[in-house]
Each structure stands twice: as C-alpha cells, then as structure tokens.
Amino acid sequence: MTTPSVPLLQVKNLRIEFPTRRGILVAVDDISFEIAAGEVLGVVGESGAGKSLTGAAVIGLLEPPGRIAGGEIIFNGKRIDNLGFEDIRKIRGREIGAIFQDPLTSLNPLYTIGRQLTETIETHLALTHTQARTRAIELLEEVGIPAAAKRIDHYPHQFSGGMRQRVVISLALAANPKLIIADEPTTALDVSIQAQIITLLKKLGREHGTAVMLITHDMGVIAETADRVAVMYAGRIAEIGPVAEVIHHPQHPYTIGLMGAIPSVGDNHERLSQIDGSMPRLTAIPAGCAFNPRCTRVNDVANHRCTIERPSLLPAGKTRAACWLHDRLGQQSTAINQHTVTV
C-alpha cells in the first residue's frame, strides 16, 4: 500500500479526561497515530484500555462528562476535535461512518430498515426519495442481504444478528464516507458470520478506498483484517506497527504476553502462558510505564527507569514500542527478540 503524503486521519497527542468529585481521571493519555486512505488500522487491548473512547472522540460521540482535554484530531486535512455540534454532525455520517458492537443500538425498532436507510441517504446526499430508495437497495445487496428489494421494507426484529450487522454496515456506507469507525463489529456474531463481516470490511478498503479504524479485543480478527495494529494498555499505545510484525515479532513485553497467551494449533503445551495481575484502574495508574507492575523485564532496565519515567514510542525492529528496552541512547534490549512468538 502506498501511503499518501497527508494521512486521511491524524490523531496527535490525544488526551481524554473524566472529571470526578475525587479529581480528574485520565482515560486516554497522549496517544498519536495515523490512518491512510484505504487502510485498516486495528486497535486492540483489554477492556478499559481506552480503545472505544478513542473511536468515540474521533467521531465526536464522547459521552459527558468525558472530554477531550488535549491534542488534535485532524481529518482530511481539517481539525475536527474543536468543531461545534452541528459542524461535527455534518461530518459524522457523511464523511465518517460508524459501526457499533450491538446493531440494535443503531437501528430504530419502530421503523423499517428502508426508512432508516433512505432518511440517512437523503440527509447527506442530494437525491430524491426514489433515488435514495434505489441506493438503499443497492447498499443492502452490496453487504450481502438476499432479496434486498423485498427485505428493505422489513423491520430490524425480522433479521438475524448477522443480517442486522450487515444493515448497520450499509447505514455506515450510505453517504460514501472516507473513514469508518468499527467498534467491536463482530463480537456478538458467530464465527461463520464473523468471517463474512471481516471479508466485507476488507472489501471496503479494496474497492472503495475507505479507511477503517477497527476496534476489537480479538487478535484473530485483527490478523485477518488489519494492515497495521495499535496495541493499547491503560490509555496509552504500547506498540504500533504492521500487523504481521506485531503478531509474529512483538517488541513490547505486554504484546509478547498477549501473543503468548493465544493457543496455536501446532503447539502441544499443557498450559497457556499468562500475564499475571490485571490492568490498573484509572485511579491507580503507576508512575513510569503503566505496565511495570506486571512486566517480567522490568529489572532488565537500569536505575529503575520503568517505575519512574514514562517511555514514548521508540523504534523497535519494524514496529514502535513504548518500552525502555528499546532506548538506543540508554539501555539497549539484548534479549527481547528471543521472546518472539508464532501464532
């Protein structure tokens, strides 16, 4: 893939806060990444890592009291994080689409899917009602709804879970958006339907040049769908790089642990490896690297640096990892490549 000189989406030093009576909780802390046109960026991590909040911030759907407290979100060359409600609403749906985990939260049970599709199309595109209905049928056919011309007048409850998710994808595509935020789009679906949705998401980038930010906790989905992957931990990006490199040659101890916990068909182990402990609460994020209480390599870095100073993303092979083991000006990693895994 050839990356354009100006990425479609640029997130720079994004910080998301939640004011509380006990103080301010930092849910997303100074993260930066880019997505090119036609690219699928996977965002993976444990529950509470900040994945969905990042996607909500991009699309302007942060729930109060959550707020963007720092950084910039630049879409198609224009800053959008400081836009008013009406201005961001014009971009949302028209240029940025969204697919959520539960399709029933995106579909009104009182209206036919045809009405919901045509209203969305008429809101964002200069088409007559007849033209909008024709496009709605075409969209349903494109996402694999059989007998779309008949089913367009059915209600959401008349569709299976997988078919409802396809309808939601057609809604996201209604106005030909340049970017789609897909938040856990396959979690509630069985494996066979997951594969179909993954194929559909890949088709978007290949045939329409649509960029996709794919938020999930499932590394299998990431491996099958994404071009690059960002691994998040406690509101920060632990590692980011090409998906094959992150999966097969992880460079951050957290990513190594994640990959090691995935069972492999060819291996015969009595026990899966695990990462001891749990991700810290927002009220108890440790100083330095947030992963340091669980890290098996923390003593490999001199002067207790991992517990004092927060690492930025550093070059680590073909990826970038927020780990002092890769600090070329300080302590070099001498053994981390021995921990690469195959999945």
Please check the confidence at residue 334 and state whether its pLDDT lies above 60.
no
Q: Is residue 248 part of a domain?
A: no
If asked whether residues 88 and 226 sit together in one domain, one would say: yes
Q: Is residue 40 part of a domain?
A: yes
Q: Domain boundary residue among 156, 174, 192?
A: 174
If asked whether residues 16 and 89 sit together in one domain, one would say: yes
If asked whether residues 125 and 187 sit together in one domain, one would say: no
If asked whether residues 199 and 159 sit together in one domain, one would say: no
Q: Enter the tokens of residue 43.
A: 């965002």
Domain total for the chain? 3
Q: Is residue 323 part of a domain?
A: yes
If asked whether residues 78 and 15 sit together in one domain, one would say: yes
If asked whether residues 301 and 229 sit together in one domain, one would say: no
Please check the confidence at residue 3 and state whether its pLDDT lies above 60.
no
If asked whether residues 219 and 151 sit together in one domain, one would say: no
Among candidate residues 183, 188, 198, 226, the one with its CA nearest the CA of residue 47: 183
What residues does 34 pair with on adjacent strands?
Answer: 10
Q: Where are the alpha helices (DSSP H) in the chain?
A: 51-59, 85-91, 113-124, 129-142, 148-151, 161-173, 191-203, 219-225, 243-248, 253-260
If asked whether residues 156 and 114 sit together in one domain, one would say: yes
In tens, the pLDDT along 275-304 reads 888 999 999 999 999 999 999 999 998 888
In tens, the pLDDT along 314-325 reads 999 999 999 999
If asked whether residues 166 and 201 sit together in one domain, one would say: no
Domain of residue 285, residue span: 259-265+272-339
The predicted model scores a pTM of 0.89
